[in-house]
Every structure is written in C-alpha cells, then in structure tokens.
A and B are shown apart, each in its own frame.
Chain A
Amino acid sequence: GESVGLHLPTLSVQEGDNSIINCAYSNSASDYFIWYKQESGKGPQFIIDIRSNMDKRQGQRVTVLLNKTVKHLSLQIAATQPGDSAVYFCAENRPWLDSSYKLIFGSGTRLLVRP
C-alpha cells in the first residue's frame, strides 16, 4: 500500500505495551478535539474526541487527555496491538471567520508496533 507520510515522527512500541502519542494545539479558543487513525491507503478514521470542558475521556483501550493550560493533547492506547500500527493525527475544531469553525489537523505521528 502507499505511504501516508514518509518523514513523520515515529513512535515504536512493543506489542502489549501502552502507547502515548502527544499533540500540541495552537488556539485556546478551539472547543473540540479529535484523534484520527490513518492506515496506509485509507482515509482518516475517527478514534475518540473530547470537548474543551473536559480533561479526560476514555474509550475502548484508548484515553484522551486534554491540558488546556499548556494547549496539549495526548492519546493513550492500552495494550498496543499490531493492528494499531498507523499514522495518528490530532485535530482541533478552531474558530474561523464569521463564527464558523474548521477542523485543523496536526502533522501526525507514525506508530509502529513491534511483535
């Protein structure tokens, strides 16, 4: 399959270990944040989201933490599996012109899971 990104920051973890992927955002007025997973040759797939009035949200094997003080977002994946290997993007719902919002994506982190 084709590669999504050739020069991305890469996180390599052992299968079964926990993974933590970090993201910094820029706009303190952003009110909603999403983590997407993108496998080679596919579009981004929604993983988990969090609103700005929360600091933690848990899903199945995934947890998102939001620190608004330092504008930092993290994605924690428990018991990482080979199927978790992909590029992970954070996205912020940022206020734009005329009271609209736009989804602004970060540059992504490649997660490699070692068997």
Chain B
Amino acid sequence: DTGVSQDPRHKITKRGQNVTFRCDPISEHNRLYWYRQTLGQGPEFLTYFQNEAQLEKSRLLSDRFSAERPKGSFSTLEIQRTEQGDSAMYLCASSLAFGGQAYSYEQYFGPGTRLTVT
C-alpha cells in the first residue's frame, strides 16, 4: 500500500453514461497525476495538478474528460458520454515537488480504477 487510494476499484458502465473516479493522494504531496493504462502498455500521462491548479493536459484528454482538485487534496476524474475506447485502467499518482521546480521525481501510484464500457 503506497498511501494513494482510488475509488471505485472497478466500474462497469454502458456507453453514453457519465462516470466519475476519485483519488486521494498522500496527504503531504502537492502534485497529483492521472494516467491511463491499457492492456500490454505502460501508463500514459493524462494530466497533473500542483495543489489545486491543473498545470498540464495531454491531448489524450478529450473534451469529454475533466479533472478537478478543488482543495488541493483529493481529485476527481470525470468522463462524460463514455465510449468503448475509454475502457482502461485509470491510475492516480502523487509526489512532492519543492519550491518552483518544474519537475518532481518519485511518484507513488494508487491501485487504479478499472473501467469497462459495454
């Protein structure tokens, strides 16, 4: 257990429905990341937050995806109008970045939320 938790662990939904996932990072970590992982691949970056500010979004994150971290603690990832191609493992990670450094190193991952769109 890394200290990063995600909920739910599994979600099965019908195409067209909206889903929301939650991530609770390690409490003192100021950075939070979302990744997507499909079978046989490594995690792919989606977006990240420094405190409550969303600093970067991948082009993988279409308009149907939105992420928030309202108080700089937990984060939610919402997918609207789900498509079968959204089926994947959604991973959250957190890390601690000091000062104004542009990057942080060791990221701790949660167990992921497995999404299946039928």
Contact = CB atoms under 8 A, between A and B. Distances in A.
Interface of A: 2-8, 32, 34, 36, 41-46, 49, 89, 91, 93, 96-97, 99-108
Interface residues of B, number: 26
Nearest to A46: B106
Contacts, number: 69
B33 to A, nearest CB: 8
B98 interface: no
A6 B109 contact: no
27 contacts: A5-B39, A8-B40, A32-B103, A32-B105, A34-B105, A36-B109, A42-B112, A43-B110, A43-B112, A44-B43, A44-B91, A44-B109, A46-B107, A49-B106, A89-B43, A93-B103, A97-B56, A100-B56, A101-B102, A102-B45, A103-B107, A104-B45, A105-B41, A105-B44, A107-B40, A108-B40, A108-B41
Contacts of B56: 96-97, 100, 102
A108 B33 CA distance: 20
A52 to B, nearest CB: 12
B96 to A, nearest CB: 13
A2 B40 CA distance: 12
B109 A45 contact: yes
Contacts of B102: 99-101
Interface string B77-118: 000000000000001010000000011011111111010000
Given A46-B108, A100-B55, 11 more contacts: A3-B39, A4-B37, A7-B40, A34-B106, A43-B2, A43-B110, A43-B111, A49-B106, A102-B45, A102-B56, A108-B42
A105 B103 contact: no
Contacts of B43: 44, 89, 105
A93 B91 contact: no
Contact of A43 (B45, B55, B91, B106): B91
Given A49-B106, A106-B42, A108-B41, A42 B111 contact: yes
